[in-house]
Structure 1
Amino acid sequence: MKRIWVAPGLAAVLFLGGCLPSFAPEKDEVIQENEEKAKETVIIPDVQLKDEFYKTLIPFKQSASRGMVVSNLHTKYDMKEVEQGLLRLSTRHFDPEKYFFQEGQYIDKETARKWLARSSDNDQGLNPAGASKGASAEEAAEQAPIYLAHIVEQNYLQKSGENNIRLSGISIGLALNSIYYARDGSETRIPDDKLQKEGMKMADEIVSRLRAKEGLADIPIVIGLFKQESRSSIVPGTYFATAYADKGKTAASGWKEVNEKYVTLPAPSSLTNYRDINNTFSKFKQDIDKYFPSFVNVIGTAHFRDDEYESLRIEVPIQFFGTSETIGFTQYLTSLVKAYFPNINVEVSITSVNGPEALIVKDSGEEPFVHIYGY
């Protein structure tokens, strides 16, 4: 890279604020106690990019079940959102100003495999036993679909005294299948009420099992139920329910609806709730088409939380390859982003067959950050 253009808004590029350590001289070294009561020195970064981002302890500890998300979830969109959405739920109970983030250390791969199995295949399996003998493929899918696809664990720690840090909270995300894909290729949609009922039952069992682990008897636990989208979906699923198990409680309580939704833009005219953002996006797309007729398509993904607009991701595949044309297009696109989305968090990714070409990131009310790759 020969040159990088930077403007206010750089923080929006990062997914998790604590993922990058600070390289400044100031650092906070503390002692962390693990479940075996052993101690180790960890560093708390001195930078917090946004109020809603957690600082992450250094050295970074990978999840004990790392790698399973790729094989268990349907799409790359669900893989990201099942973790990112759980972070948002966690902020309701674990204040990012007071807690530090660490990937889950208490549910390892072997434990996760056992819990994800059918109860007929493993006595710890949380999914239902197989269908009755002689049942047809359709009957089997209805009797015993696989509900639970993946378990995500996140740990939250607090300072205990001046130089010590300890586990103070756990969040668990249960990724549930909205569609059961049988081995014979058939598909069975699982009703939302059934999915919620089964998810809540599994949540209570998981809380009970975590309480039995050493050191976790009095750790608050947040539970989130995540509904996966279909394998062909270009938008991620979302968390639809959450609950909390306070210190010593062996079951989750106080279940609440999580009102989040991802909408693909341009949206069908039938989705009247999103008419305003859809009209704005359509005008934005029309201006792009006027300027560059060789353009392929523009796809937007809008995120709504509690019926309020949260953010917009835009993917822009291009067919041209000239450097000057790429720069000109990026500059023009940046001006459109400022004009059409002044008070919206926006991320625009411009790509070609050669890979990423440019990135535009703008926080609500801020100037954009622009980067042209390889220039």
Structure 2
Amino acid sequence: MKRLFVLPVMAAVLLLGGCLPSIGPDKEEVIQETEEQVEETVMIPDVQVKDTFYRTLLPLKKSASRGLVVSNIHTKYDIGEAEEGLLRLSAQHFDPKNYFFQEGQYIDKATASAWLARSSTNEAGLNPPEAKGEDAEESPIYLAHIIEQNYLTLTDDKKVRLSGVSIGLALNSVYYDKGGKETEISDAVLEKQGIAMADKIISRLRAKEGFQDIPIVIGLFKQEKRNAIVPGAYFATAFADKGKTSASGWKEVNERYVLFPIPADIDNYRDINTKFNSFKQDIDEYFPSFVNVIGKGFFKENQMESISIDIPIQFFGKSEVIGFTQFLTDKVKNYFPNIDVEVSITSVNGPEALIVKEAGSDEPFIHIYGY
């Protein structure tokens, strides 16, 4: 059984050799004891790229159940969002200024596989027993994957310890049986099943030595269909404080991704879709041959917070790429002034240019590959 240890810290100052001047400490070395109780030296980077980003213990330790994610989650988009979305939920409880991130180390591959199984094949299985014939649709596999994230802190007496755990439950919105038949699962059923499974997982974690006083964040993630080109999203979250064997305070997570352009008859995004189509029309007028412009918008509380736009082109000269990138930068500033924007320009040769603009900023970051 995995134990949690409180460990001493050793400060370290890294100096550059040769004639270069010292730039001061950029990492802090700590001693971390592994499950086998062997001491290892790890480092905490001093640089934090953004206030909303967690600093990660180095060298990176892969998730104990990482090998399961590719086989259990339908698309690469869902794989990324299941992890990134859980980071956003975690930040509401574990402040990135004070906590350090580490991939999950306490639910190993064998344990995760057992929990993901049907209860008819493994007594620890959280999915319903398999049914046959007409009853098969009544017992789909709800739980596809379990994402674990660990959050660590440095104490006042300079010790590092596990201080929080987040668990994401990736749930199937569509169940595909062995014959390929699709069974859609309603949001109400997903929520009911997810909450019941969350309480079982919290209770099992509490039974582990050292987990009694570890706060646990739970998130329920709805996977998209296999052929989806936008990710699913978390739709509910709760918190189990120290000593609690079940989650409380369940609340809705109002997040989703939308692909642009969208059909004109979808009222919820009419204004934004009109703006995106105008942006696309300006590109079509600039570029005489066909350009397929696709946008992926991220919405939180019904407001678009960011959009990533992919533009494949057929330019053959760098001067054309430079001119087109400058043109696009101006359009991005005009059409999307108050949201985060990332525009990726590609060709058959690979990436050509990147434009990144933060919400409210007048000066986007521009990079043209090869320059």
Q: TM-score, normalised by structure 1?
A: 0.89
Q: Deviations over 1:301-350 (max 9, x none)?
A: 11111122210110111123322222221221112111211221001111
Q: 2:273 is matched with which residue: 278, 292, 299? A: 278
Q: Does 1:179 align with 2:174?
A: yes
Aligned to 2:261: 266
Aligned to 2:368: 372
Secondary structure of the corresponding residue to residue 193 of structure 1: helix
Secondary structure of the corresponding residue to residue 223 of structure 1: strand
Instruction: Tell me, in whole angstroms, the C-alpha distance in 1 between the residues paired with 2:236 and 2:215.
Output: 17
Instruction: Tell me, in whole angstroms, the C-alpha distance in 1 between the residues paired with 2:110 and 2:348.
Output: 40
Secondary structure of the corresponding residue to residue 285 of structure 1: helix
For the Cα contact (< 8 Å) 1:33–1:165, is it kept in 2? no
For the Cα contact (< 8 Å) 1:242–1:255, is it kept in 2? yes
Aligned to 1:9: none
Secondary structure of the corresponding residue to residue 59 of structure 1: coil
Moved more, 167-176 or 183-192: 183-192
Q: Does 1:207 align with 2:202?
A: yes
For the Cα contact (< 8 Å) 1:31–1:163, is it kept in 2? no
For the Cα contact (< 8 Å) 1:29–1:163, is it kept in 2? no
The within-5 A match list for 1:235-274 is 235-274=230-269
1:36 CA drift (Å) = 6.3
What residue identity is the alignment partner of 1:291?
Answer: Y
Aligned to 1:356: 351
Q: Which runs of 5+ in 2 are unaligned?
A: 1-15, 17-22
Change in Cα spacing, 1:157 to 1:96, as seen in structure 2 (3 Å) is same
Instruction: Tell me, in whole angstroms, the C-alpha distance in 2 between the residues paired with 1:39 and 1:217.
Output: 24
Instruction: Tell me, in whole angstroms, the C-alpha distance in 2 between the residues paired with 1:178 and 1:128.
Output: 16
Instruction: Tell me, in whole angstroms, the C-alpha distance in 2 between the residues paired with 1:264 and 1:96.
Output: 30
Change in Cα spacing, 1:244 to 1:174, as seen in structure 2 (3 Å) is same
In the TM superposition, structure 1's runs of 4+ consecutive aligned residues that sit over 4 Å from their partners are 33-39
Moved more, 42-51 or 28-37: 28-37
Q: 1:336 is matched with which residue: 331, 351, 368? A: 331
Percent identity reads: 69
What residue identity is the alignment partner of 2:91?
Answer: T
1:55 CA drift (Å) = 1.0
For the Cα contact (< 8 Å) 1:78–1:237, is it kept in 2? yes
Q: Deviations over 1:17-52 (max 9, x none)?
A: xxxxxx964122233355666654322211112111
Aligned to 1:296: 291
Instruction: Tell me, in whole angstroms, the C-alpha distance in 1 between the residues paired with 2:37 and 2:247.
Output: 27
The within-5 A match list for 1:130-141 is 130-132=130-132, 135-136=133-134, 139-140=135-136
Moved more, 65-74 or 225-234: 65-74
Higher relative contact order (CA 8 A, sep 6+): 1
What residue identity is the alignment partner of 1:322?
Answer: G
What residue identity is the alignment partner of 2:188?
Answer: D
Aligned to 2:7: none
Q: Does 1:127 align with 2:127?
A: yes
Instruction: Tell me, in whole angstroms, the C-alpha distance in 2 between the residues paired with 1:349 and 1:98.
Output: 33
Q: Deviations over 1:189-239 (max 9, x none)?
A: 001101111111110111111111222121000000000011111111000
Q: What RMSD over aligned residues (CA atoms) do the two structures have, in Å?
A: 1.7
Change in Cα spacing, 1:66 to 1:25, as seen in structure 2 (3 Å) is farther
The within-5 A match list for 1:310-321 is 310-321=305-316
